[in-house]
Amino acid sequence: MVNSDKLVNILFHIADIIKENKDHLTELDQAIGDGDHGINLDRGFSAVKEHFLSTKDNIPKDLGLILSKTAMILISKVGGASGPLYGTAIMKASNIVSKKEEMNLLDGLNMLEAAIQGIKERGKAEQGDKTMLDTLIPTLTTLKDCINKKLTNDEIKKYVLESAKKGMKSTKEYSANKGRASYLGARSIGHIDPGAKSSYLIIKAIINTID
């Protein structure tokens, strides 16, 4: 079960892992984009962390409110293509836990599904277009599969992380059809998509923070 304290802790871990990988994400974006992905995301998630640190005696119990605030901060601070996409994803996920003070694995599954739906509606991309969706869609498929098979939490974490990693790495094989990288056409092949990598890091931070 994740309550408001744990959710904020997850957000802090995401902010930390993005900061640690800021230069790496920027390098990936330098190869096939404009080199701002790490800078964009670090600015956004640092602002999220600062917000919840500065209001730490006043954090809502309602998980939906925590995530809708997070989405609004990301939308206003990240910019680029990824700001509105991650912002929409988290806003859609926030609806699933609106008015809830705790969430379980099934809520997590529904949140990921809603987040992906939001990214698809907003960015009109599909799996194989070399975007963050290439990490997130296989993650969702594996999570569903693990829940159906009634695997233990440790097994679920292991398989979900493996699948997110595999999806992220698969972007190396495709040429980009969406976003700035699509201007390069086939020359984008051989490079990992920066958004696929940041989504992997976010999934990893979540997995490493939950019990």
Instruction: For residue 2, report the phi and psi dihedrals to the nearest 5 degrees.
Output: -115, 120
Interaction of residue 29 with Mg ion, rule CB under 5 A = yes
> What mask, x for binding ligand ADP by CB under 6 A, covers residues 145 to 184?
---------------------------------xxx----
Q: What is the DSSP string of 67-132?
A: HHHHHHHHHHHT-TTHHHHHHHHHHHHHHHTTT-S-B-HHHHHHHHHHHHHHHHHHH---TTSSST
Q: Which is nearer to Mg ion, 36 or 42 (CB)?
A: 36
Question: Two tokens at 86?
Answer: 């991650």
The H or E element spanning position 27 is helix 22-32
Instruction: For residue 103, report the phi and psi dihedrals to the nearest 5 degrees.
Output: -135, 155
Q: Total binding residues for ligand ADP by CB under 6 A? A: 24
Interaction of residue 42 with ligand ADP, rule CB under 6 A = no
At its nearest, how many Å lie between ligand ADP and the CB of residue 66?
Answer: 23
At its nearest, how many Å lie between Mg ion and the CB of residue 4?
Answer: 32
- Residue 133 near which of ligand ADP, Mg ion, none (CB within 5-8 Å, type-dependent): ligand ADP
* From candidates 52, 93, 195, 201, binder to ligand ADP by CB under 6 A: 195
At its nearest, how many Å lie between Mg ion and the CB of residue 88?
Answer: 17
Q: Which is nearer to ligand ADP, 166 or 180 (CB)?
A: 180
Tell me whether residue 180 is exposed, middle or buried, using C-beta atoms within 10 angstroms of its C-beta: 0 to 12, 13 to 18, 19 or more: middle
Q: First-to-last CA distance in the chain?
A: 8
Interaction of residue 87 with ligand ADP, rule CB under 6 A = no
* Binders of Mg ion in range 87-126 (CB under 5 A): none
* From candidates 63, 73, 77, 80, binder to ligand ADP by CB under 6 A: 80
Cα(135)–Cα(163) distance, rounded to whole angstroms?
8
